[in-house]
Structure 1
Amino acid sequence: MSPDLHFILFLLLRMAIAATFVVTASIITERAGPVIGALVATLPISAGPSYVFLALDHDAAFIAQGALASLPINAATIFMCLTYVVLAQRYNLLVSCGSAVAVWIVLASIVRQFDWPLTAGLAANLIAFGICIPLLAGYRHVKMPLVTRRWYDVPMRAALVAMLVAIVVSTSGWVGPRISGIIALYPVVFSSIMVILHPRIGGPPTAAVLANSAWGLLGFGAAIAVLHVAVVSFGSSVGLCLALGTCVAWNFTLWCIGIASRRRSSSRLH
C-alpha cells in the first residue's frame, strides 16, 4: 500500500470515529432537553478526537503547546455564545450566528498573535467567564419546544466534525502546535446547534441551550489546563485521559447540583 493511500484511509477512519461521537451526542442532546443537552455539548466531542489524533502523529511537547493555544480560545468561545444568545432574542439565524462566528474569528485572530503561558490563559478564562456567566443567566430558563429531527441534521453535524478532524490532522505538520490548538477548538457543536435549531424552534429556545452551556464550558477550560500540565508531566495518553476525566467529572457535578436544586425547589412548593 502506498504511503498516500495509507494516509487517506487512516484519515477517513479518524473522520468516521469522530463522526460517530457526534451522532451519539446529538441523539442524547435532542432527547434530554436544554440543560442536559448543554452538558453533553460541552464535553470534548469535537476537540477530543482532534487531540487524540494529533497525539498519534506528534509528541507530548506538541500537544502541550497546542493546549496552551486552546486555553484562551475557550474564552473566545464563551463570548461567541454570549453574542449569539443576545442577538437570537430578536434577530434571525444569519445575523445571530454570523455575528457570533465573526466574534470568534476576530478573537481567535488576536489570540494567535501572542504566546500564551498557562497563567495568562487561565486568567483570560476567569475574566471571560466572570463577565459572561452573569450576563447569560437570564436566558437559561426557556421552555424547549418539541424538536422533530430532520434526516440531514445528524449527518450534517457529523460531517462538520469529520471535516474539522481532517483539517487539524492534515495540516498540523506544517501549521504547528499553536494553530492546530486553535483550529481544534473551533466550536463545531455550538455552531451546528445554532444552524439546526434556530430556524426550527426559534432564537430564544436555541439560545437557552447555549446559555446553559456556560458552566460546562468553564469546566472544559479547566480540562484544557489539565491536559497541558499532565502531558508535560506524564505524556500524551495520560494527559488526554485526565483531561477527559476532568470534563466528565465537572459536568457530572453540575448535573448533580442541578438535581439537588430542583428537589429543593419542589420541596418548597409542597
Structure 2
Amino acid sequence: MSLDLHFILFLLLRMAIAAAFVVSASIITERAGPVIGALVATLPVSAGPSYVFLAIDHDAAFIAQGALASLPVNAATIFMCLTYVVLSQRHNLVVSCGSAVAVWIVLASIIRRFDWSLAAGLAANLIAFGICIPLLAGYRHVKMPLVTRRWYDVPMRALLVATLVAIVVSTSGWVGPRISGIIALFPVVFTSMMVILHPRIGGPPTAAVLANSAWGLLGFGMAIAIMHIAVAQFGSATGLSVALASCVLWNLTLWQRGRVMRKARSP
C-alpha cells in the first residue's frame, strides 16, 4: 500500500471515529433535556478525538503546547455561548448562530497572537466564566420540547466533526501546536446544536442547553489545564487519560449536585 493511500485511509478512519462520538453525544442531548444534554455536550467529544489523533502523530511536547493554546480558547467558547443565548431569544438562526461563531473567530484570532502561560490561560477562563455564568443563569430553565429528527441531522453532524478532525490532523505538521490547539477547540458540538435545534424547537429551548453548559465548560477548561501538566510530566497517553477522567468526574459531580438540589426543592 502506498504511503499516500495509507494516510488517506487512516485519516478517514479517524474522521469516522470522531464523527461517531459527536453524533452519539448530540442524540443523547436531544433526548435527555437541557441539563443532561449540556453535561454531555461539554465532554471532550470533539476535542478529545482531535487530541488523540494529534498524539499519534506528535510527541508529548507538541500536545502539551497545544493544550496551552487551547486553554484560553475555552474562554472564547463561553462568550460564544453567551452571544447565542442572548440573541436567540428574539432573533433567527442566521443572526444568532452567525454572530456567536463570529465572536468565537474574533476572540480566537486575538488569542493566537499571544504566547500564553498556564497562569494566564487559567486567569482568562476565571474572568470569562465569572462574567458569563451569572449572565447565563436566567436562561437555563426552559423545558425542552420533543425533537423530531430529520434524515440529514446525523450526516450533517458527522460531516462537521469529521471535517474538523481532517483539518486538525492534516495541517498540524505545518501550522504547529499553537494553531492546532486552537482549531481542535472549535465548538463543533455547540454549533451543530444551534443549527439543528434552533429551527425546530426555537431559540429559547436551544439556548437553555448552552446556558446549562457553562459549569460543564468550566470543568472542561480545567481538564485542558490538567492535560497540559500531565502530558508534560507523564506523556501523552497518561495525560490525555487523566484529563478525560477529570472532565467526566467534574460532570458527574455536577449531575449529582443537580439531583440533590432538585430533591431538596421537591415537597
TM-score range, shorter chain: over 0.9
Q: Which whole-Å CA distance do the structure 2 matches of 1:81 and 1:24 have between them?
A: 21
Partner AA of 1:210 in structure 2: L
Match of 1:252 in 2: 252
Q: What is the alpha-carbon distance in structure 2 between the residues aligned to residue 222 and residue 119 of structure 1?
A: 12
- Total equivalences in the alignment: 267
Contact 2:71-2:221 within 8 A present in 1 as well: yes
Q: Give the conservation status (yes or no) of the 8 Å contact 1:26–1:154.
A: no
Q: Partner amino acid for 2:76?
A: A
Q: Find the residue that maps to 1:186 and give its secondary structure.
A: coil
Partner of 1:132: 132
Q: What amino acid does structure 2 have at the position aligned with 1:181?
A: G
Query: For residues 148 and 5 of structure 1, what CA distance do their matches in structure 2 show?
Result: 39
Counterpart in the other structure of 2:199? 199
Distance (Å, rounded) in 2 between the aligned partners of 1:159 and 1:46: 12
| Aligned equivalent of 1:64 | 64
- For 2:191 and 2:26, locate their aligned partners in 1 and report how far apart those are by CA, in whole Å: 13
Checking the alignment, whether the CA contact within 8 Å between 2:26 and 2:193 is kept in structure 1 is no
Q: Distance in 1 between matches of 2:250 and 2:159?
A: 28
Q: Which residue of structure 1 lines up, in the alignment, with residue 144 of structure 2?
A: 144
Paired residues of 1:25 and 1:40 also in contact (CA < 8 A): yes
- Please say if 1:25 is aligned against 2:44: no
| Matched letter for residue 13 of structure 1 | L
TM-score normalised to structure 2 length: 0.99
Letter in 1 for 2:261: S
Deviation at 1:23, TM superposition (A): 2.0
C-alpha displacement of 1:26: 1.8
Farther-moved stretch of structure 1 (89-98 vs 148-157) = 148-157
- C-alpha separation between the residues in 2 aligned to 1:234 and 1:50? 20
Distance in 2 between residues matched to 1:29 and 1:212, nearest whole Å: 12
**What is the correspondence of 1:114-129 to structure 2 with a 5 Å cutoff?**
114-129=114-129
Q: Distance in 2 between matches of 1:119 and 1:22?
A: 30
Query: Aligned partners of 1:155 and 1:40: how far apart in 2?
Result: 20
8 A contact 2:77–2:104 mirrored in 1? yes
Query: Any gaps of 5 or more consecutive residues in structure 2?
Result: none
1:15-34 Cα shifts (integer Å, max 9, x gaps): 01111111211221111011
Deviation at 1:248, TM superposition (A): 0.2
Give distance in 2, aligned partners of 1:23 and 1:185: 17
**Are residue 213 (structure 1) and residue 217 (structure 2) matched?**
no
Name the amino acid aligned to 2:201: I
Question: What's the offset of the Cα at 1:159?
Answer: 1.1
Please give the alpha-carbon distance, in whole angstroms, between the structure 2 residues aligned to 1:129 and 1:36: 20
Partner of 1:13 in structure 2? Answer: 13
Three-state SS of the structure 1 residue aligned to 2:19 is: helix
**CA offsets 1:1-60 (integer angstroms, 9 cap, x no match):** 110000000000000111111121122111101100000000001000000000000000
**Bigger Cα displacement from structure 2, 18-27 vs 49-58:** 18-27
CA RMSD of aligned residues (A): 0.5
Aligned equivalent of 2:87: 87
Q: In structure 2, give the amino acid aligned to 1:10.
A: F
State the partner residue of 1:55.
55
Residue 190 in 1 paired to residue 198 in 2?
A: no
Q: What letter matches 2:193 in structure 1?
A: I
Residue identity in the other structure for 2:140: R
Post-superposition Cα deviations, 1:181-209, rounded to whole Å, max 9, x if no partner, equal: 00000000000000000011100000000
Give, as a single letter, the amino acid of the residue that structure 1 aligns with 2:25.
A
- The 3-state SS of whatever aligns with 2:44 is coil
The one-character-per-residue Cα deviations of 1:59-78 (angstroms, maximum 9, x if unpaired) are: 00000000000000000000
Q: What letter matches 1:117 in structure 2? A: S
Instruction: Output the CA distance in 2 between the equivalents of 1:112 and 1:64.
Output: 16
- The answer for the alignment partner of 1:153 in structure 2 is 153
TM-score after normalising by structure 1: 0.98
- Asked if structure 2 preserves the Cα contact closer than 8 Å seen for 1:216 and 1:251, the reply is yes
Alignment map for 1:229-248 (pairs within 5 Å): 229-248=229-248
- Rounded to whole Å, the distance in 2 between the matches of 1:28 and 1:156 is 16
Q: Taking every aligned residue pair, what percent have the same amino acid on both sides? A: 85
